[in-house]
Structure 1
């Protein structure tokens, strides 16, 4: 079931014989410079790395081959060492991906032949088990249809996912990622993470994902600074 659902997530990178990264190397480098970020990329365009600061704390973004099997094509991932309280845990995840991971976890639990945990399981499957889904009035039905917010406490979720972040999550520029595109932002152990499928592979997607990630970091720094 997991494989069938995964194949439904947009087009596989095999449909793109020319690497998206190879074509985008120059534009991404120029884009990073306009945002005051340092850039490095492999000669053949197989990976790109951008580094910057938010709240005077370092953060790093990578665009390259996926490190998760539920992502097809290119993966965009970011991590910030924001050093907020490590007691806070929260995540925003698109519902199709949440359902995929939950079904996969359920299948493992009910498989009588599975006696040990698969070490290849993504950590986000454990996060889904750790945190409760949190809802509140304000974001609107369209937001809750597309995303789920999970957290260790309701107060932490409300403090982190403010109205501005909700608006950003619902206002991707055209051509915009569909609701099926794997996406998550996570606040855990004093760090903030972003992981998503880079689809559509457009500069607008990269730019807006960066804005979302920076906002998530700024919200965490404002609400949970040590």
Structure 2
């Protein structure tokens, strides 16, 4: 597996760009793909996004494409949510490292700005999580993973129970043309639910398919490893 992970950054040949989901006829292709996977699909009209719903480990999940609800995400956003009913005390966040560094920089600038006397109500919840949860790591995942992603958790054991080798591999092996390492991405377990939020770049069907695979795999892993309290 580690050899495959390393190839992500060493491949020289790039395939032709995958079709953009905004192109003519491709919303129908997304609908057909969703139907083949057993997902329910709802389009919001020309250029207004869509939603998909399904079941994973007996739990309902929903993924939407639409206008971004976060100022650090430019253009369209993919967001997903699942009612996993895992331990409510579990809090684990996986975010790409450039996003973590950008949020930390913004938080520091606000803290040191002597002219700012009140909290900005538009601040994303993610900035509070950076202050609440420490970063964790372990040696069984390769360095290339930790170079790209940061993992924050209330307890290291919770992160270990969720982020298995399969999920780590999926997070690294995006289909080409793959999202750049700078593209905002976040995968979360909070309050018994699973969440995904990412900038939809490149906005094509392979990226959508892989994001759905990552999210459903993350849900399966969470249900398997965190349905009961594993804390020591």
The TM-score normalised by the length of structure 2 is 0.86
Gaps of 5+ in 1: 1-17
Q: Taking structure 1 as reference, are residues 217 and 163 closer, same or farther at Cα in structure 2, changes over 3 Å only?
A: same
Tell me the equivalent position of 1:6. none
Please give the secondary structure, in 2, of the residue aligned with 1:39. strand
CA contact (8 A) 1:143 1:170 kept: yes
CA contact (8 A) 1:21 1:46 kept: no
Distance in 1 (CA, whole Å) between partners of 2:88 and 2:187 is 16
State the Cα RMSD in Å. 1.6
CA distances 1:57-101 after superposition (whole Å, capped 9, x unpaired): 111100011111111121000000111111000010001111111
Distance in 1 (CA, whole Å) between partners of 2:76 and 2:87 is 32
CA contact (8 A) 1:160 1:220 kept: yes
Shift in Å at residue 43 of structure 1? Answer: 2.1
Tell me the equivalent position of 1:91. 93
Shift in Å at residue 25 of structure 1? Answer: 1.7
Gaps of 5+ in 2: 1-19
Runs (4+) off by over 2 Å: 18-24
Shift in Å at residue 186 of structure 1? Answer: 0.4
Distance in 2 (CA, whole Å) between partners of 1:170 and 1:74 is 22
Tell me the equivalent position of 1:38. 40
Tell me the equivalent position of 1:109. 111
Q: How many residues align?
A: 209
Distance in 2 (CA, whole Å) between partners of 1:23 and 1:132 is 45
Tell me the equivalent position of 1:151. 153
Answer 1 or 2: higher relative contact order, Cα 8 Å, separation at least 6: 2
Please give the secondary structure, in 2, of the residue aligned with 1:20. coil
